[in-house]
């Protein structure tokens, strides 16, 4: 019999350690602290049977486990502060993030939130939030205002803080008040850098050969850099190219996007395949092998791509954020004939996203004729 899951993905608000055996929910410890609590409760004769519905399981946990967790917290200046919640978030949530890049991103957010609010006391109730000394919407709003130059990053930090408070309310039972609910986030101005054909030609000429292939594929299909990393040798033929859109996940972990093969696209793909053969293990390739590999024969990662892009920056004297590879995706959208064509190329569900963020080329118009002789004469 397979081992039951300890996390029910369809019911994310259930505490970690909940598992369903038959029609009954049970709980068990998942880390050193909760395993010690489980052992202590079992020694006292308590059953870990939580109930037959998710609500019963949640109530059982809040009645028996949550108080034990609070009692186990060290009696120091951490209890009752945002630092207490952040530590629980690090213990409960970060280990569940499978992608290392995602986990590191959230670790960075937690560090910034800790620096800003870690020592501040959080309110147990909405009434307590009105008292001085507790974290409030006013304090959070001031923090956003002070960091308006990095609006996108600041907004994500507060969204993470809001998630921490939601867990503290529905899962940990530590508070009934979320000070982030009334927050007005900072407006985020979309990036407006458009890479002209002349500028693109300069970048292409200075780029290493493998990066030239990536630039060509991206500016023709609008593919993100991660989608390029994921191209396999068997994903293209004379008729089409298939890209995996991992930002739109299904049961397979991605959605497939087909592109009709054009002479320019095929030339870039064929060249990439020839360059692949010069790397370790690249001569003998299977359809499932990655198209882009490093000299050591390993698939490209964000770090190896950064080194590749840094070579281009050094050769052209580009600033850190002057032009990014993601601007190639915007170039593909900007050079499309219409908003609808750009939306289809980039595989967006809403054309508003395409227009607001990716259509960056300055529109041109033909001036009207002089009105001196009358425009209605014609």
Based on the domain organization, do 116 and 263 belong to the same domain? no
Yes or no: say if 253 and 312 are a contact pair by the CB < 8 Å rule: no
Does residue 77 belong to any structural domain of this protein? no
326 lies in the same domain as 207: yes
Expressed as residue numbers, the domain containing 59 is: 18-72
Name the nearest CA neighbour of 241 among 368, 345, 119: 345
91: closest CA among 113, 69, 124?
Answer: 69
Sheet holding 18-21, edge to edge: 18-21, 24-27, 49-51
pLDDT over 70, % of the chain: 92
Predicted confidence (pLDDT) per residue in 66-80, tens digit: 777 766 665 556 888
**pLDDT score for 232:** 94
More confidently predicted of 245 and 161: 161
Do 114 and 215 belong together in one domain?
Answer: no
CA 241 to CA 259: how far, in whole Å? 5
Q: Report the alpha-carbon distance of residue 258 to residue 336 in Å, rounded.
A: 17
**pLDDT at 14 (0 to 100):** 79
Q: Check whether residue 239 and residue 350 sit in a common domain.
A: yes
pLDDT digits (tens, 9 = 90+) for 319-370: 888 999 999 999 999 999 999 999 999 988 899 989 989 999 888 888 888 8
Provide CB contacts within 8 A for 244, sequence distance 6+.
Answer: 227, 230, 254, 255, 256, 257
For the stretch 160-170, pLDDT in tens is 999 999 999 98
pLDDT of residue 5: 47
Q: Establish if 192 belongs to a structural domain.
A: no
Q: 136 and 210: one domain? A: no
- Whether 132 is in a domain gets the answer yes
Q: What is the pLDDT of residue 218?
A: 96
57's tokens: 């399981």
Confidence of residue 292 (pLDDT cuts 50, 70, 90): very high
Tokens 């049970």 found at = 26
Total residue length of the chain? 378
User: Rounded distance, CA 102 to CA 283, Å?
Assistant: 33
pLDDT at 2 > cutoff 90: no
**Span 81-121, pLDDT tens digits:** 999 999 999 988 888 888 787 888 999 999 999 999 999 99
Considering only 124-128, 239-243, 245-249, 313-317, which range has the smallest mean pLDDT?
A: 245-249
Classify residue 367 as exposed, middle or buried by CB count within 10 Å of its CB (0-12, 13-18, 19+): exposed
Query: Residue 128's CB: how many other CB atoms inside 10 A?
Result: 15
90, part of any domain:
yes
Looking at the 3D structure of the chain, how many domains does it have? 3
- Of 92, 140, 136, 86, the closest CA to residue 109 belongs to 86
- Assess whether pLDDT exceeds 70 at residue 42: yes
β partners of residue 51: 25
Claim to verify: residue 65 and residue 206 sit in the same structural domain: no
pLDDT computed for residue 34 by the predictor? 85
SS3 367: coil
Compute CA distances 11 → 88, 162, 299, 356, whole Å.
Answer: 19, 19, 35, 35
- Please, what is the Cα angle at 213 between 211 and 216, to 5 degrees? 110
pLDDT tens profile 126-161: 888 888 889 999 999 999 999 988 898 999 999 999
Tell whether the model's pLDDT for residue 31 goes beyond 70: yes
Q: 3-state class of 92 per DSSP?
A: helix
Q: 10 Å Cβ neighbour count for 65?
A: 22
Average pLDDT, the chain: 88
Tell whether 160 is covered by a domain. yes
CB atoms inside a 10 Å sphere around CB 235: 18
Shared-domain flag, residues 129 and 205: no
Distant-in-sequence contacts of 6-10, Cβ < 8 A, 24+ apart: 6/30, 7/96, 8/54
pLDDT of amino acid 127: 85
Reply yes or no on whether the pLDDT at 17 is more than 60.
yes
Please tell me the pTM assigned to this model: 0.65
Asked whether residue 312 is domain-assigned, the answer is yes
Compare 262 and 100 and report the one with higher pLDDT.
Answer: 262
Is the per-residue pLDDT at 6 higher than 50? no
Q: pLDDT at residue 9 above 60?
A: no
Domain boundary among 170, 205, 221: 170
Q: Are residues 109 and 136 in the same domain?
A: yes
pLDDT above 90 as % of the chain: 52
Residue 7: which pLDDT band, with cuts at 50, 70 and 90?
very low
Among 26, 46, 72, which residue terminates a domain?
72
Co-location of 148 and 44 in the same domain:
no
The number of angstroms, rounded, from the C-alpha of 20 to the middle of its chain's C-alpha atoms is 30
Position 182 in a domain: no
Same domain membership, residue 244 and residue 204: yes
Q: State yes or no: pLDDT of 4 exceeds 50.
A: no
Residue 263 falls inside a structural domain = yes
3-state secondary structure 137-194: HHHHHHHHHHCHHHHHHHHHHHHHHHHHHHHHHHCCCCCCCCCCCCCCCCCCCCCCCC
Confidence of residue 30 (pLDDT cuts 50, 70, 90): confident
Q: What is the rounded CA–CA span in Å between residue 122 and residue 263? A: 61
For range 171-182, the mean pLDDT:
89
Residue 248: band (very low, low, confident or very high) from pLDDT cuts 50, 70, 90: low
Residues 118 and 214 in one domain: no
Work out the average pLDDT over 167-179: 90
Alpha-carbon torsion (150, 156, 161, 162), positive or negative: positive
Question: Torsion-angle region of residue 171: left (phi > 0), alpha (psi -120 to 50) or beta?
Answer: alpha
Residue 114 sits in the same domain as residue 255? no
């Amino acid at each position: 019999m397979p081992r039951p899951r300890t996390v029910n993905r369809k019911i994310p608000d259930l505490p970690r350690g909940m598992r369903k055996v038959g029609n009954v929910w049970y709980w068990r410890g998942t880390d050193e602290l909760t395993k010690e609590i489980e052992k202590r409760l079992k020694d006292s004769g308590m059953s870990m049977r939580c109930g037959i519905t998710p609500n019963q399981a949640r109530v059982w946990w809040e009645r028996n486990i949550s108080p034990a967790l609070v009692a186990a917290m060290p009696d120091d200046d951490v209890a009752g502060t945002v630092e207490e919640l952040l530590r629980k978030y690090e213990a409960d949530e970060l280990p569940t993030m499978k992608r290392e890049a995602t986990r590191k991103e959230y670790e960075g957010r937690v560090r910034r939130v800790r620096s800003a609010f870690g020592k501040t006391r959080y309110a147990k109730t909405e009434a307590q939030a009105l008292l001085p000394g507790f974290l409030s919407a006013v304090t959070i709003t001031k923090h956003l205002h002070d960091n308006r130059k990095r609006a996108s990053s600041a907004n994500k930090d507060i969204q993470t803080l809001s998630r921490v408070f939601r867990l503290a309310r529905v899962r940990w039972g530590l508070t009934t008040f979320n000070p982030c609910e009334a927050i007005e986030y900072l407006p985020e101005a979309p990036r407006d850098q458009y890479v002209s054909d002349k500028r693109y030609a300069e970048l292409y000429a200075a780029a290493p050969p493998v990066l030239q292939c990536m630039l060509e594929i991206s500016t023709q299909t609008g593919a993100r850099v991660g989608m390029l990393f994921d191209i396999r040798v068997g994903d293209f033929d004379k008729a089409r190219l298939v890209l995996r859109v991992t930002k739109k996940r299904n049961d397979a972990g991605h959605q497939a996007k087909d592109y009709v093969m054009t002479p320019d696209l095929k030339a870039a793909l064929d060249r990439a395949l020839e360059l692949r053969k010069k790397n370790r293990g690249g001569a003998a390739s299977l359809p499932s092998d990655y198209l882009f590999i490093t000299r050591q024969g390993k698939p490209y990662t964000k770090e190896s791509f950064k080194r590749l892009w840094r070579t281009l920056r050094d050769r052209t004297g580009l600033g850190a954020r002057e032009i990014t590879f993601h601007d190639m995706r915007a170039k593909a959208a900007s050079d499309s004939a219409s908003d609808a064509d750009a939306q289809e190329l980039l595989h967006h569900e809403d054309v508003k996203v395409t227009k607001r963020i990716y259509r960056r080329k300055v529109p041109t118009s033909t001036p009207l004729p002089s009105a001196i002789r009358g425009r209605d004469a014609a």
